[in-house]
Chain A
Amino acid sequence: MVYCIGHSIISPLGEGSQANFDAVQAGRTGLKIHTDRFADVEPFCASLFDTPQSFVPLCIKSVEQALVYGSLSMVRSSDTIFILSTTKGDNLDLWTSAQAIARHFCNTNPPVVVSNACTSGVCAQITAQRLLEAGMYRQAVVIGCDLQTRFIVSGFQSFKALSPEPCLPFSPDRKGLNLGEAAATIIYSQQPIANSQQPFWTLETGSIHNDANHISAPSRTGEGAYQCLTDVMDGVTPDEIALIGVHGTATPYNDAMEQTAIERAGLQNVPKNMLKPFFGHTMGAAGVLETILCMKEAERQKTQKPIHVIKMLSGFGGVNAAIRLKSEY
């Protein structure tokens, strides 16, 4: 396992993990109908920054907000690796963007970009855990970020995947997904922060499985998602799980597939944490942003200790991923 030693969220709902969590608690949403953001594109419902953002500066700000005071030396260290989760970045050269972010913090290790469609944010955390547990690095800065563009919105519209209204995950009335943009960072370390009074979270385990069914439609039996859930449940029972952060894109097939996988894994009584009605689908940022908010929600509940949460995602290419985190005092 590896320790979470910092996190941050920057979204249309505000800056800071706490501010974003408070916004969700207050029922605020970033979703709005946009009619003239991009040429030719039909009106769409999405959560976008009021002022268009630049990718690299946004990621840098996200990392800065995740660092606690005095850890600039940590990010500069050769023991630290930067891992970026994004689907399209801000231009087509994703690796150069990642390098620019790392270089800003004077980190000279070549960064890693995870490009596993919408599961990237969870896969990036799994990659971080493996690199740290293998002793290759001692810290990993995991950044998830995506900004919406005409390229992405037009593509999802061609898939008829978008809902014209705010999305309704797992509802029988669901009509599709909304897009979103955000930047989120989680910093993992081999060691916990010394003398911390706060509960600390550990990333216990993660799993990635392909449905091997279709490149853009999920398996009707939720095969890959089910295998991921089974893997991350190894060693714990369903009543130890405080909540599942579902993918919950509100497309007819995705939510049905997730429900099937959750039932097959015996997790149907675990509360679902659904965040896309607040943030939209933030693509490469989703796995990181939604994991942070699962942690915050579990902390709020204070139901039992230790607390476990699961975050699951699926994406184009038939890929599914899940992680389980644990909180202890």
Chain B
Amino acid sequence: MLNAESYIEITPASVVRNGQPIAVSETGDRMLVELYRRYAGDYPKFFKMDTLCRLGFIAAEILLKEPTANSQQPTAIIMANRSASIKNDTDYLATISDGNYYPSPSLFVYTLPNIVTGEIAIRHHIQGETAFYILDTPEQLETIVKSQKSKTQSPEPILCGWVECSAANEFYAKLQIIWNN
């Protein structure tokens, strides 16, 4: 287990930050909207995002709301999941169905899971490394993050974690801020 300074875990009905639950009244995608209004509220682009990006965006937003121990912004974002952008792929496919062919560019752009790292980078002005992997387990991500830290020897924190979404009401995210130690 990598040494995480702080972490957040989100399921369709719960949010836990550093072991403390955050009260929510909605579930699923509506819960993400509720969290957006509470923790951000100033970023209309949120509503253009697909559920996977909303999930990652909100997790990062809450996690980065409070300053880290050394008040430093993460300088890299490394994330992974098992199912890529499957929910949004399905949504995009609906716009190119037989007899109803009107491909939507705003849905197409979200058919790449790494877009969530881009949305977080834009929001928090992070011009460091962003990367997305498709892996079988979160443990595989730990190996990759360890090799990144070993190579870059950067003293600055990185934001990493698992963001999975297969439907508007089926998702899971666990994001952490990791220090080099």
Q: SS class of chain A's interface: helix, strand, loop or mixed?
A: mixed
Using CB atoms, name the residue of chain B closest to A224.
B127
Q: Contact string, B95-126, partner A, CB cutoff 8 A, digits 1/0?
A: 01010010111001101111101110110111
Could you say which of B84, B128, B136, B143 contacts A92, with CB atoms under 8 Å apart?
B84
Query: Which listed residue, A113, A116, A131, A158, touches B105 by the CB 8 Å rule?
Result: A158
A127-B114 contact, Cβ under 8 Å, with A40-B96, A95-B135, A155-B108: no
* Residues of B with C-beta under 8 A to A207: 129
Set of chain B residues within 8 Å of A316, measured between Cβ atoms: 109, 112, 114-115, 118
Contact B128 A123 (CB under 8 A): no
Contact B122 A213 (CB under 8 A): yes
Closest to A214 in B: B122
B122: which of A134, A136, A215 is its contact (CB, 8 Å)?
Answer: A215
Given A131-B147, A134-B147, decide whether A155 and B101 contact each other with a Cβ distance below 8 A.
no
Contacts of A98 in B (CB 8 A): 134
A115-B113, A130-B148 are known contacts. Are A151 and B127 too (CB-CB below 8 A)? no
Of A39, A127, A159, the residue contacting B98 (CB under 8 A) is A39
A132 nearest in chain B by CB position: B147
Decide: B128 and A210 in contact? CB cutoff 8 A. Answer: yes
User: Which residues in B have some Cβ–Cβ distance to A below 8 Å?
Assistant: 77, 82-84, 86, 89, 92-93, 96, 98, 101, 103-105, 108-109, 111-115, 117-119, 121-122, 124-137, 140, 143-144, 146-148, 150-151
Given A110-B135, A210-B121, A224-B127, output 14 extra A-B contacts at Cβ < 8 Å.
A116-B132, A117-B112, A127-B133, A131-B147, A134-B150, A151-B111, A154-B96, A155-B103, A157-B103, A210-B117, A211-B121, A216-B109, A227-B127, A318-B118
The interface of chain A, by Cβ under 8 A from chain B, is: 39-40, 87-88, 92-95, 98-99, 110, 112-117, 123, 127, 129-131, 133-134, 136, 150-151, 154-155, 157-159, 207-216, 223-224, 227, 315-319
